[in-house]
DNA sequence: TCAAAAGGTACCAGATTAGTACTGATTGCG
DNA sequence: CGCAATCAGTACTAATCTGGTACCTTTTGA
């Protein structure tokens, strides 16, 4: 596992599709058509992304959505956080009310946070723009310079 | 989300608990007692970990499990991979038969692999030993004053 | 030979997700 | 001014998956 929800996958696909025409303002039905994702689902995703500040929405007639940042300025970490909530691999990060259930005898209560930070750091290195470039150059030997793990 | 399954959480807790007494050979019931995880579940986890080569198992009477490596030589990436399968955030990594469902028009088919590698790299930096050290140096106070969750 | 413990398979129930539907709010345009 | 297009929010349902349990087999030391 460790695979993210289909929702997040859709979100990234949608934003990548949108990154190619930043000027344009796309509507939800347009995006649904372009990505093949069912319209209601697209709508829900767009809303979340807009709430997270990754998208700008224009309400009235002839409204729509547009990216609020440049593709290379949007990390997948942000997208994931927008759709799935904060990036936390486990429940026992800092002071959550209900931990993982075994916290009574767990010797490493706060240490999961270390892992979380490592993953988050890695995810922040990959941007939307990164998701499209290599389709052309495709010579990626080492994608991440050992991101994260900064204690 | 982005939280890993409770199973993985258990697995790490178990291995961490075990890392303190490498000499000893622990049995599944012992570990279940020590971690508070239900015995059948512990058994299942142990089996997976043993299959992945992270544990050594001794079958007959007075058998049990023991770590096959030093704690600082076991990364959480390995543990996750053992329990959850290979680390792949999405289905559309390289040549999986059934992609994420929108791959027909997706512009970045193979680019998710970049993300996967970044995360995997980050996870490989954190070892079992890392999960225990800060429990002492961080000065974590007794956190479990709340009503018992697991009986 | 017996008992303890690992190994394996199959199954069920609860939780979570993905998707749908409906209703309300905002705004450009005729 | 009113209509229609579009975003916004909530609620609901069905399907999937996970976590957990039960049962049985194999191994091996006493
Ligand atoms: S409290 Fe969950 S791993 Fe320690
Ligand atoms: S095929 Fe799944 S994201 Fe492109």
DSSP string for residues in B43-70: HHHHHHHHHTTSEEEE-STT-EEEESS-
Domains plus CATH for chain B? 6-134 (1.10.10.10)
Question: Is the pTM above the cut of 0.95?
Answer: no
What pLDDT is stored for residue B98 in this prediction?
A: 45
Task: Judge whether residue A114 has pLDDT over 50.
Answer: yes
Contact check, Cβ <8 Å, A132/B35 = no
At B132 the pLDDT is 77
Question: Which ligand 2 atom is the nearest neighbour of the CA of B112?
Answer: 3
Cβ atoms of B88 and B82 closer than 8 Å: no
Span of A57-66, A84-93, B79-88, B94-103 with lowest mean pLDDT: B94-103
Which nucleotides of strand C lie within 7 A of protein CB?
Answer: 3-9, 16-22, 25-29
Residue B136: Cβ within 10 Å count = 9
Cβ of residue A61 near strand D, that is under 7 Å?
A: yes
Does any ligand 1 atom lie closer than 6 A to the CB of residue A108? yes
- Nearest-CA residue for ligand 2 atom 4 is B109
Q: Considering only CA atoms, which of B14, B88, B86, B9 is closest in space to residue B55?
A: B14
CB neighbour list of residue A10: distance below 8 Å, 6 or more residues apart: A35, A37, A41, A42, A45, B100, B102
Closest to B144 measured CA to CA, from A106, A90, A111, A116: A106
Q: Which atom of ligand 1 is nearest to the CA of A103?
A: 1
Q: What does the pLDDT average to over A50-60?
A: 91
Q: Where residue A94 falls among pLDDT bands split at 50, 70, 90?
A: very low
pLDDT band at B13 (very low <50, low <70, confident <90, very high): confident
Q: Please report, for residues A80, B10, B71, the alpha-carbon distance to residue A77 in angstroms, rounded to integers and kept in the order given.
A: 5, 26, 29
> Confidence class of residue B113 from pLDDT cuts 50, 70 and 90?
confident
For B101, the 3-state DSSP assignment is coil
User: How many beta carbons lie within 10 A of that of residue A87, not counting itself?
Assistant: 18
Provide mean pLDDT across the span B38-56: 93
Q: Which residue is nearest to nucleotide C21 (CA to C1')?
A: A40
The pLDDT score that the predictor gives to residue B150 is 31
pLDDT at A75 over 80: yes
Q: Which of B123, B121, B112 is nearest to B89 (CA)?
A: B112
Is residue A114 lining ligand 1, measured as CB closer than 6 Å?
no
What mean pLDDT is reported for chain B? 76
**Whether B55 contacts B44, CB under 8 Å:** no
Is pLDDT at B67 greater than 70 in this prediction?
yes
Q: How far apart are CA A34 and CA A28, in angstroms?
A: 10
Alpha-carbon span B150 to A121, nearest angstrom: 33
Q: How confident is the model at residue B92 (pLDDT cuts 50, 70, 90)?
A: low
Please name the helix (run of DSSP H) or strand (run of DSSP E) that holds residue A67, with its range, or none. Answer: strand A64-67
Span B120-149, pLDDT tens digits: 898 899 999 888 765 444 444 433 333 333
Tens of pLDDT, residue by residue over A1-12, are 566 778 888 898
Predicted pLDDT of residue B73: 93
**Cβ of residue B9 lying under 6 Å from some atom of ligand 1:** yes
Suggest the residue from B119, B129, B141 to mutate for an interface test with chain A (most A CBs closer than 10 A): B119
């Amino acid at each position: 596992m460790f695979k993210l929800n289909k929702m997040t996958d859709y979100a990234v696909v949608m934003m990548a599709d949108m990154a190619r025409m930043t000027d344009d303002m796309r509507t939800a039905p347009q995006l649904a058509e372009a990505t093949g994702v069912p319209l209601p689902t697209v709508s829900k995703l767009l809303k979340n992304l807009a709430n997270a500040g990754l998208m700008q929405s224009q309400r009235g007639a002839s409204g729509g959505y547009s990216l609020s940042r440049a593709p290379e300025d949007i990390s997948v970490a942000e997208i994931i956080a927008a759709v799935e909530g904060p990036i936390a691999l486990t429940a026992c990060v800092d002071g959550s009310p209900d931990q993982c259930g075994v916290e009574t005898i767990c010797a490493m209560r706060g240490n999961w946070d270390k892992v979380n930070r490592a993953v988050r750091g890695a995810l922040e290195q990959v941007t939307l723009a990164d998701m499209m470039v290599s389709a052309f150059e495709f010579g990626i030997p080492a994608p991440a310079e050992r991101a994260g793990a900064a204690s």
